[in-house]
Structure 1
Amino acid sequence: MAIFIPLKKNSEFKKVYTRGKSAANRYLVLYKLPNGGSERRFGYSISKKVGKAVCRNRLRRILKEICRLNLNRFPDGHDFIFIVRQSSCDQEYNQLEKHVWHVLGRLGD
């Protein structure tokens, strides 16, 4: 069974930013880096420029739920970081899910 593991340490984020591949669209940026293990780890970065805390937390919860429900669509043994852009604040779950698959598809394998 796949386990949902968060990225929390600043050093882990920096490693993915510097060594990972990225893809972006108008709403999201996704960084991906092989982690040498078999688990998938996820991190989320949402700037205060995106909106107030209510908006930022809502977007984070939506992204976490998209990742949790679709773990099998993300490759094993990788770290993923989602950076949410300002235009995402008014997006609903279904729209945000489409944007996630779009940037993941742009990264390829």
Structure 2
Amino acid sequence: MNSYDSLKKNRDFQNVYKNGKSKANKYLVMYVLENQLDSNRLGISVSKKVGNSVIRHHLTRLIRESYRLNKEMFNSGLDIVVIARESAKDRKYKEIESALLHLGKINGILNEKSM
């Protein structure tokens, strides 16, 4: 993932939280906001409630990899913030990937041709 593909600044996250729309499922919460760019920017948040730093970083890597391998399925020009829920901590890659794609579908941000 290139540095331009991710949200890093707190103000960017706060803007997506305040102005974006959100949907959730059992493992993840997704906020989506249009960004007037040609590419998507992904932000990932995993709270300390989920687990220690090893667990949090593992979950972050699973979410990032799920997005990276499926990013051609998502529409362009979006800021996407994914928040991991506590129930996601013991999940395998396929379950996280499925949850991410499910949220993309219910948010209406997946390309029709990829579905």
TM superposition shift of 1:108: 1.1
Give the whole-Å Cα distance in 1 for the aligned partners of 2:37 and 2:96. 28
Q: Where does residue 107 of structure 2 map in the other structure?
A: 107
Give the whole-Å Cα distance in 2 for the aligned partners of 1:20 and 1:55. 27
The unaligned stretches of length 5 or more in structure 1 are none
Give the whole-Å Cα distance in 2 for the aligned partners of 1:61 and 1:15. 24
- Please list every run of at least 4 consecutive aligned residues from structure 1 whose deviation after the TM superposition is greater than 4 angstroms: none
The higher-RCO structure (CA 8 Å, 6+ apart) is 1
Give the whole-Å Cα distance in 1 for the aligned partners of 2:105 and 2:58. 24
Identity %, equivalent residues: 42
Give the whole-Å Cα distance in 2 for the aligned partners of 1:26 and 1:65. 19
Q: TM-score, structure 1 length as denominator?
A: 0.94
Q: How does 1:6-85 map to 2 (within 5 A)?
A: 6-85=6-85
Give the whole-Å Cα distance in 1 for the aligned partners of 2:48 and 2:73. 29
The count of residues paired between Structure 1 and Structure 2 equals 107
RMSD: 1.2
Q: TM-score, structure 2 length as denominator?
A: 0.89
Give the whole-Å Cα distance in 2 for the aligned partners of 1:108 and 1:76. 12
Q: Which AA in structure 2 matches 1:95?
A: E
Give the whole-Å Cα distance in 2 for the aligned partners of 1:68 and 1:96. 13
Q: Where does residue 112 of structure 2 map in the other structure?
A: none
Q: Would you say the 8 A contact 1:23–1:104 is kept in 2?
A: no
